[in-house]
Chain A
Amino acid sequence: MAQDVTPRVKVPKSAAAGEAVAIKTLISHPMESGQRKDKEGNIIPRSIINRFTCEFNGQSVVDVTMEPAISTNPYIEFAATVPEAGEFKFTWYDDDGSVYEDIKPIALK
């Protein structure tokens, strides 16, 4: 289990119905690529976040499959349409089976 994995998401507090909002997501995670070697020369095994999804009121906004070439502390920015007030649910899936979640509500202007 990766240590201290903390998600940080930036979503506007409110939006007009049908407006597009920019969403910025960051999660602290070492994203061990499986390419590095330790002092004895053994490969440090791969351990990354392999998938990130964003849903709004149950509908998919974006679904990202991530591979070892994504940098440490993965940053993903995208745009979502807000048809109504509700909640954004962000989910990160780790190679080791852990799932990290963050939920951000958004109101209508």
Chain B
Amino acid sequence: MTLTRRNVMIMGAGAFVAFGLPMRATAAAEDRIAEFTGGAAMADSGITLTAPEIAENGNTVPIEVAAPGAVEILVLATGNPTPGVATFKFGPLAASQTASTRIRLAGTQDVVAIAKMSDGSFAKASSNVKVTIGGCGG
């Protein structure tokens, strides 16, 4: 199609909307966090989130969470279409409150892990992962 001035303006508007989209995805993650913590403050230490700095394949990104004394750990991918990844609940026979798994990341984003401790407090860790090929089906 010929590149008229109207087309350029529409493309520009589209680009503006696309730029705004990542912000909305983070809002969904904020809602999940508020739901999990009930709005309580989260400490910076007490939970470790291990994730690669660069993930070549967004379809399978290995992560590990560890939070000694935690009852539950919530993992969110703030830049995915839906931020929820997994919730780990540790029972009485868990030797340590650690877990590893592989997740899908749609693009470069922050992965967030929040631990609910047995005393009711919360701790948060986040890790920025650069993704070269997105893992949510394109």
How many angstroms from the CA of A72 to the CA of B101 in the assembled complex? 11
Distance in Å from the Cβ of A95 to the closest Cβ of chain B?
A: 14
Number of interface residues of A (CB under 8 A): 31
Which residue, B89, B92, B93, has most C-beta atoms of chain A within 10 A?
B93
A33: interface (CB < 8 Å): yes
**Contacts A74-B101, A75-B102, A76-B101 known; A69 to B82 CB distance under 8 Å?**
yes
| CB-CB under 8 A for A69 and B103, given A62-B90, A81-B95 | yes
Mostly, the B contact residues are: strand
Interface string of B111-138 (1 = CB under 8 A from A): 0000000000000000000000001111
| B96 is an interface residue with CB less than 8 A from chain A | yes
Contacts of A63 in B (CB 8 A): 88-89, 91
Contact A62 B89 (CB under 8 A): yes
Q: Is the CB of A35 within 8 A of B137?
A: yes
B104→A69 contact, CB < 8 A: yes
Complex CA gap A65/B80 in Å reads: 17
Given contacts A67-B84, A69-B77, A70-B102, whether A81 and B94 have CB atoms under 8 Å apart is yes
In the complex, how many angstroms separate the beta carbon of B3 from the nearest chain A beta carbon?
A: 27
Residue in A61, A65, A66 whose beta carbon sits within 8 Å of that of B93 in the complex: A61
A64 — which chain B residues lie within 8 A by C-beta?
A: 86-89, 99
For residue B7, CB closer than 8 A to chain A, the reply is no
Complex contact A59–B99 (CB within 8 A): no
Assess whether B91 is in contact with A59, with CB atoms less than 8 Å apart.
yes
Instruction: Map CB proximity to A onto B5-19 as digits: 1 under 8 Å, 0 otherwise.
Output: 000000000000000
Contact of A70 among B86, B137, B138 (CB under 8 A): B86
Say yes or no for B50: interface residue by CB 8 A criterion.
no
B37 within 8 A of A: no
Query: Which residues on B sit within 8 Å (CB–CB) of A7?
Result: none
When the two chains form the complex, which single residue of B85, B92, B94, B96 contacts A69, counting CB atoms closer than 8 Å? B85
**Residue A60 at the chain B interface, CB threshold 8 Å:** yes
Q: Mind listing 14 A-B residue pairs with CB under 8 Å?
A: A20-B96, A21-B95, A33-B136, A35-B81, A36-B137, A63-B89, A65-B86, A68-B84, A71-B102, A72-B60, A74-B101, A75-B100, A77-B101, A78-B100
The interface of chain B, by Cβ under 8 A from chain A, is 59-61, 77, 80-96, 98-105, 135-138
